[in-house]
Amino acid sequence: MTEQPKVALITGSAKGLGKMTALLLAESGCDIIINYVHSQKEAYLLCERIQAKGRRCIAIQGDVANPMEMSQLVKSAVAEFGSIDILINNAGPFVRERKLFSEYSQEDINYLMHGNLLGVMQLDHLVLPMMRNKSWGRIVHFGFGHAAEARGWPHRAVYAAAKVGLVSFTKTLAVEEAPYGITVNMICPGDIRGMNKEKLISEVEQEIDPESPRGRPGAGEDIARVIAFLCEERSDFITGNIMDVSGGLDPIRAIIGSSHQK
Protein backbone atom coordinates (compact mmCIF):
# COMPACT_ATOMS: atom_id res chain seq x y z
CA MET A 1 0.00 0.00 0.00
CA THR A 2 1.38 3.38 -1.03
CA GLU A 3 1.92 5.77 1.86
CA GLN A 4 -0.22 8.89 1.70
CA PRO A 5 1.65 12.18 1.15
CA LYS A 6 2.15 14.37 4.20
CA VAL A 7 -0.15 17.39 4.39
CA ALA A 8 1.54 20.69 5.25
CA LEU A 9 -0.20 23.88 6.38
CA ILE A 10 1.96 26.99 6.06
CA THR A 11 0.47 30.18 7.48
CA GLY A 12 1.12 33.41 5.61
CA SER A 13 2.33 31.50 2.58
CA ALA A 14 1.05 33.44 -0.42
CA LYS A 15 4.29 35.42 -0.55
CA GLY A 16 7.76 35.65 0.95
CA LEU A 17 9.36 33.01 3.15
CA GLY A 18 6.09 31.10 3.46
CA LYS A 19 5.82 30.83 -0.32
CA MET A 20 9.36 29.48 -0.65
CA THR A 21 8.66 26.96 2.13
CA ALA A 22 5.46 25.83 0.42
CA LEU A 23 7.26 25.30 -2.88
CA LEU A 24 10.10 23.32 -1.34
CA LEU A 25 7.77 21.11 0.74
CA ALA A 26 5.72 20.47 -2.39
CA GLU A 27 8.87 19.43 -4.24
CA SER A 28 9.65 17.04 -1.38
CA GLY A 29 6.28 15.33 -1.91
CA CYS A 30 3.89 17.11 0.46
CA ASP A 31 0.37 18.24 -0.31
CA ILE A 32 0.03 21.90 0.61
CA ILE A 33 -2.45 24.22 2.32
CA ILE A 34 -1.71 27.84 1.45
CA ASN A 35 -2.95 30.43 3.93
CA TYR A 36 -3.35 34.14 3.25
CA VAL A 37 -5.07 37.20 4.71
CA HIS A 38 -5.20 39.74 1.87
CA SER A 39 -3.06 38.24 -0.92
CA GLN A 40 -5.75 36.14 -2.60
CA LYS A 41 -4.42 36.54 -6.13
CA GLU A 42 -0.89 35.51 -5.12
CA ALA A 43 -2.25 32.57 -3.12
CA TYR A 44 -4.26 31.21 -6.04
CA LEU A 45 -1.36 31.61 -8.46
CA LEU A 46 0.92 29.74 -6.05
CA CYS A 47 -1.70 27.05 -5.67
CA GLU A 48 -1.79 26.55 -9.45
CA ARG A 49 2.01 26.40 -9.54
CA ILE A 50 2.07 23.69 -6.87
CA GLN A 51 -0.71 21.72 -8.55
CA ALA A 52 1.34 21.81 -11.75
CA LYS A 53 4.02 19.90 -9.84
CA GLY A 54 1.49 17.09 -9.32
CA ARG A 55 0.67 17.92 -5.71
CA ARG A 56 -2.70 18.68 -4.20
CA CYS A 57 -3.02 22.26 -2.99
CA ILE A 58 -5.74 24.57 -1.70
CA ALA A 59 -5.66 28.21 -0.57
CA ILE A 60 -7.64 29.31 2.50
CA GLN A 61 -8.07 32.82 3.86
CA GLY A 62 -7.57 33.43 7.59
CA ASP A 63 -5.76 35.73 10.02
CA VAL A 64 -3.64 33.89 12.59
CA ALA A 65 -4.57 36.60 15.12
CA ASN A 66 -8.25 35.62 14.83
CA PRO A 67 -9.07 32.33 16.65
CA MET A 68 -12.39 31.86 14.84
CA GLU A 69 -10.73 32.20 11.43
CA MET A 70 -8.00 29.73 12.39
CA SER A 71 -10.58 27.24 13.63
CA GLN A 72 -12.43 27.51 10.32
CA LEU A 73 -9.15 27.19 8.40
CA VAL A 74 -8.36 23.90 10.13
CA LYS A 75 -11.90 22.59 9.56
CA SER A 76 -11.70 23.43 5.85
CA ALA A 77 -8.26 21.86 5.53
CA VAL A 78 -9.34 18.64 7.26
CA ALA A 79 -12.48 18.44 5.13
CA GLU A 80 -10.27 18.55 2.01
CA PHE A 81 -7.23 16.52 3.08
CA GLY A 82 -8.31 14.50 6.11
CA SER A 83 -5.63 15.76 8.50
CA ILE A 84 -2.64 18.06 8.94
CA ASP A 85 0.78 16.43 9.42
CA ILE A 86 3.05 19.48 9.20
CA LEU A 87 2.34 22.94 10.59
CA ILE A 88 4.63 25.83 9.68
CA ASN A 89 3.71 28.91 11.74
CA ASN A 90 5.24 31.44 9.38
CA ALA A 91 2.67 34.24 9.73
CA GLY A 92 3.24 36.90 12.36
CA PRO A 93 2.68 40.67 12.19
CA PHE A 94 5.78 42.87 12.38
CA VAL A 95 5.90 46.67 12.41
CA ARG A 96 8.95 48.07 10.63
CA GLU A 97 8.44 51.55 12.07
CA ARG A 98 10.50 51.94 15.22
CA LYS A 99 8.30 52.85 18.18
CA LEU A 100 8.79 53.03 21.92
CA PHE A 101 6.48 50.78 23.90
CA SER A 102 4.69 53.84 25.31
CA GLU A 103 3.70 54.82 21.76
CA TYR A 104 1.83 51.60 21.02
CA SER A 105 -1.96 51.56 21.25
CA GLN A 106 -3.72 48.84 23.22
CA GLU A 107 -5.01 47.51 19.89
CA ASP A 108 -1.44 47.29 18.53
CA ILE A 109 -0.31 45.37 21.60
CA ASN A 110 -3.19 42.90 21.41
CA TYR A 111 -2.77 42.32 17.67
CA LEU A 112 0.99 41.73 17.86
CA MET A 113 0.66 39.39 20.85
CA HIS A 114 -2.17 37.39 19.27
CA GLY A 115 -0.50 37.23 15.88
CA ASN A 116 2.92 36.16 17.17
CA LEU A 117 2.18 34.12 20.30
CA LEU A 118 -1.40 33.36 21.29
CA GLY A 119 -2.58 32.63 17.75
CA VAL A 120 0.36 30.27 17.22
CA MET A 121 -0.42 28.42 20.45
CA GLN A 122 -4.09 28.13 19.55
CA LEU A 123 -3.33 26.81 16.07
CA ASP A 124 -0.90 24.26 17.49
CA HIS A 125 -3.63 23.19 19.92
CA LEU A 126 -6.04 22.59 17.03
CA VAL A 127 -3.69 20.33 15.04
CA LEU A 128 -2.04 18.37 17.86
CA PRO A 129 -4.85 15.78 18.20
CA MET A 130 -4.48 14.85 14.52
CA MET A 131 -0.72 14.49 14.86
CA ARG A 132 -1.05 12.42 18.03
CA ASN A 133 -3.56 10.16 16.31
CA LYS A 134 -0.93 9.35 13.66
CA SER A 135 2.00 9.31 16.12
CA TRP A 136 3.75 11.71 13.75
CA GLY A 137 3.93 15.45 13.32
CA ARG A 138 6.20 18.40 12.57
CA ILE A 139 5.63 21.88 14.01
CA VAL A 140 7.87 24.83 13.17
CA HIS A 141 7.62 28.25 14.83
CA PHE A 142 9.27 31.46 13.63
CA GLY A 143 11.36 33.72 15.85
CA PHE A 144 14.09 36.33 15.36
CA GLY A 145 17.87 36.13 15.65
CA HIS A 146 19.10 35.44 19.20
CA ALA A 147 15.51 35.16 20.49
CA ALA A 148 16.63 32.30 22.73
CA GLU A 149 18.80 34.75 24.70
CA ALA A 150 15.71 36.79 25.70
CA ARG A 151 17.49 40.07 25.19
CA GLY A 152 15.64 43.37 25.05
CA TRP A 153 14.96 44.77 21.58
CA PRO A 154 14.46 48.54 21.72
CA HIS A 155 11.63 49.78 19.47
CA ARG A 156 10.37 46.20 19.02
CA ALA A 157 9.12 45.57 22.57
CA VAL A 158 5.84 43.81 21.84
CA TYR A 159 7.05 41.71 18.91
CA ALA A 160 10.16 40.65 20.83
CA ALA A 161 8.17 39.77 23.96
CA ALA A 162 5.79 37.60 21.95
CA LYS A 163 8.60 35.74 20.16
CA VAL A 164 10.62 35.23 23.33
CA GLY A 165 7.50 33.77 24.94
CA LEU A 166 7.23 31.51 21.92
CA VAL A 167 10.78 30.28 22.58
CA SER A 168 9.73 28.91 25.96
CA PHE A 169 6.56 27.43 24.50
CA THR A 170 8.54 25.76 21.71
CA LYS A 171 10.85 24.05 24.19
CA THR A 172 7.99 22.98 26.47
CA LEU A 173 5.82 21.62 23.66
CA ALA A 174 8.77 19.75 22.19
CA VAL A 175 9.26 17.81 25.43
CA GLU A 176 5.56 17.15 25.95
CA GLU A 177 4.93 15.90 22.41
CA ALA A 178 8.15 13.94 21.79
CA PRO A 179 6.61 10.66 23.03
CA TYR A 180 3.93 11.04 20.34
CA GLY A 181 6.41 11.34 17.46
CA ILE A 182 5.87 15.09 17.13
CA THR A 183 8.82 17.48 16.83
CA VAL A 184 8.64 21.21 17.60
CA ASN A 185 11.39 23.63 16.56
CA MET A 186 11.86 27.34 15.95
CA ILE A 187 13.54 28.96 12.95
CA CYS A 188 15.00 32.45 13.45
CA PRO A 189 15.57 34.04 10.02
CA GLY A 190 18.13 36.73 9.40
CA ASP A 191 17.20 40.12 7.99
CA ILE A 192 15.97 38.88 4.62
CA ARG A 193 14.18 41.73 2.90
CA GLY A 194 11.93 42.41 -0.06
CA MET A 195 12.09 40.10 -3.05
CA ASN A 196 15.05 38.24 -1.55
CA LYS A 197 12.46 36.35 0.48
CA GLU A 198 11.37 34.64 -2.73
CA LYS A 199 14.80 34.04 -4.23
CA LEU A 200 17.04 30.99 -4.48
CA ILE A 201 20.51 31.00 -2.96
CA SER A 202 21.98 30.90 -6.47
CA GLU A 203 20.28 34.22 -7.21
CA VAL A 204 21.94 36.10 -4.33
CA GLU A 205 25.23 34.31 -3.70
CA GLN A 206 27.22 36.69 -5.87
CA GLU A 207 25.75 39.81 -4.24
CA ILE A 208 27.61 41.71 -1.54
CA ASP A 209 26.01 42.55 1.81
CA PRO A 210 28.47 44.58 3.91
CA GLU A 211 26.38 44.11 7.09
CA SER A 212 26.41 40.32 6.87
CA PRO A 213 29.35 38.36 8.34
CA ARG A 214 28.70 35.79 5.62
CA GLY A 215 29.15 38.53 3.04
CA ARG A 216 26.01 37.89 1.00
CA PRO A 217 22.33 38.64 1.62
CA GLY A 218 20.01 35.88 2.74
CA ALA A 219 17.44 34.27 0.45
CA GLY A 220 14.14 32.57 1.01
CA GLU A 221 15.74 29.26 0.12
CA ASP A 222 18.09 29.61 3.10
CA ILE A 223 15.08 29.37 5.40
CA ALA A 224 12.95 26.94 3.40
CA ARG A 225 15.67 24.30 3.08
CA VAL A 226 16.18 24.17 6.87
CA ILE A 227 12.44 23.81 7.40
CA ALA A 228 12.24 21.06 4.78
CA PHE A 229 15.04 19.19 6.57
CA LEU A 230 13.23 19.46 9.92
CA CYS A 231 10.12 17.99 8.30
CA GLU A 232 11.85 14.90 6.97
CA GLU A 233 10.88 11.47 8.28
CA ARG A 234 14.30 10.84 9.81
CA SER A 235 14.54 14.25 11.52
CA ASP A 236 12.56 12.97 14.51
CA PHE A 237 15.55 13.30 16.89
CA ILE A 238 15.76 17.06 16.31
CA THR A 239 13.28 18.83 18.56
CA GLY A 240 13.14 21.76 20.97
CA ASN A 241 15.78 23.71 19.06
CA ILE A 242 15.95 27.44 18.35
CA MET A 243 17.88 27.77 15.11
CA ASP A 244 19.37 31.03 13.84
CA VAL A 245 19.57 31.09 10.04
CA SER A 246 21.12 34.51 9.70
CA GLY A 247 24.56 34.32 8.14
CA GLY A 248 25.92 35.34 11.54
CA LEU A 249 24.16 38.72 11.65
CA ASP A 250 22.83 39.97 14.99
CA PRO A 251 19.64 41.94 14.19
CA ILE A 252 19.56 43.73 17.54
CA ARG A 253 23.16 44.92 17.68
CA ALA A 254 22.68 47.38 14.84
CA ILE A 255 20.01 49.45 16.58
CA ILE A 256 20.99 49.36 20.28
CA GLY A 257 22.09 52.86 21.19
CA SER A 258 20.65 54.40 18.05
CA SER A 259 18.53 57.51 18.29
CA HIS A 260 14.78 57.06 18.34
CA GLN A 261 13.29 57.36 14.88
CA LYS A 262 9.72 58.05 13.96
- Domain count of the fold of the chain: 1
Cα–Cα distance list, 32 to 7, 61, 81, 206, 249 (Å): 6, 14, 9, 32, 31
Please give the residue range of the domain that contains residue 119.
Answer: 7-245
Residue 226 lies in a domain: yes
Residue 1 lies in a domain: no
* Confidence band for 261, pLDDT divided at 50, 70 and 90: very low
Please report, for the domain that includes residue 152, its CATH number.
Answer: 3.40.50.720
Residue 252 lies in a domain: no
Q: Which of 73, 70, 31, 37 shows the shortest CA–CA distance to 54?
A: 31
Express each pLDDT in 39-74 by its tens digit.
Answer: 999 999 999 999 999 999 999 999 998 999 999 999
Residue 190 lies in a domain: yes
Residue 145 lies in a domain: yes
Residue 139 lies in a domain: yes
Express each pLDDT in 98-130 by its tens digit.
Answer: 999 999 999 999 999 999 999 999 999 999 999
